[in-house]
Amino acid sequence: MQGNNFRLIISVTWLIILICLVSIGIMIKVYLIDNRFDHEWDFLVYSIPVFISSFVFVILMYNLRRAYIKGSTDLKDENCIVHWKYAEEEWKEFNNIEWRKIRLKLFLIPLACILLFIIIGWFDDGLSFEGFSVALPYIIVFFISISAAVLFYNYMLYRRTKVCPREVLIGTDGFLYGGYFNGWKMFGTKLGGVKLIQENNAAIEFDIRVRGKYGYTSNPLRVPVPIGHEYEAEKVISEINKQITSF
């Protein structure tokens, strides 16, 4: 993707955010959801921090996207630690197992959050029943929407892995799996560790950590180990972990 296309993505995304903020402000003013805004366009003042932070977020996503494209282009046979190819059945089985785990997680997490909100609201004497009954549908829609968006994103990745070349390349900066590059030397990311998982199918688990407001959040990602390559996988893990401890 060319640089002009990157700038276009930033411009369009920022414009969409601006339109959404203005639309929300107009809705608040028209329907008088609350009386927080004393003057007609006060909502713009309140939305400026959100607008600026969203622009910074888009810039960060732009840089991550550039790093992803660079990593997926640079990682080749000559500079990777290992290059594995898979039989059709083991590739399909691993991806199906991972997809089932993701679906279960994205069902349980919003359900647990909604139940927690209900429990807190039930025992909070300072919250009226009317306020609780008004807030509950918004909370449910919020968590379901977030979960659905993440589920859709992972489903698209799952579909992509089904049709992409059945191979994995692992390098010192990241790995290429399902045609998608996952790196740990991009801005705001680091590798916490690597280990071998022995379950139904052996897999290497990369603990990729992403910087957030309150520190790093763990985002474990797995790649399948081809049948009979467990010893080679242990050597790969040992080499990558040595590089982590050397920093």
Residues 198 and 211 in one domain: yes
Percent with pLDDT over 90 in the chain: 11
Between 138 and 207, name the one with better pLDDT: 207
Residues 34 and 115 in one domain: no
Residues 28 and 143 in one domain: no
Residue 205 has pLDDT above 90, yes or no: yes
* DSSP state letters, 172-233: SSEEEETTEEEESSSTTEEEEEEEEEESSSEEEEEEEEEEETTEEEEEEEEEEPPTT-HHHH
Residue 219 has pLDDT above 70, yes or no: yes
**pLDDT given for residue 156 in this prediction:** 79
Between 44 and 175, name the one with better pLDDT: 175
Residues 122 and 81 in one domain: yes
pTM of the model: 0.63
Task: From 38, 57, 73, give the residue that closes a domain.
Answer: 73
Q: Where are the beta strands (DSSP E) in 16-171?
A: 82-85, 167-170
Residues 49 and 109 in one domain: no
Give the tens place of pLDDT for each residue, 163-179. 888 999 998 888 988 77
Residues 31 and 57 in one domain: yes
Count of domains observed in the chain:
2
Residues 136 and 226 in one domain: yes
- End-to-end Cα separation, the chain, in angstroms: 32
Task: From 35, 52, 73, give the residue that closes a domain.
Answer: 73
Residues 149 and 216 in one domain: yes
Mean residue pLDDT of the chain comes to 74
Which residue do the tokens 């400026």 mark? 48
Residues 195 and 230 in one domain: yes
**pLDDT given for residue 33 in this prediction:** 47
Task: From 52, 73, 94, give the residue that closes a domain.
Answer: 73
Residues 9 and 118 in one domain: no
Where in the sequence is the domain holding 11, given as residue range(s)?
Answer: 3-73
Q: What is the mean pLDDT of residues 84-107?
A: 88
Q: What is the mean pLDDT of residues 41-46?
A: 56
Residues 50 and 37 in one domain: yes
**pLDDT given for residue 67 in this prediction:** 59
Give the tens place of pLDDT for each residue, 99-154. 888 888 888 888 887 888 777 767 666 666 666 666 677 677 777 777 777 777 77
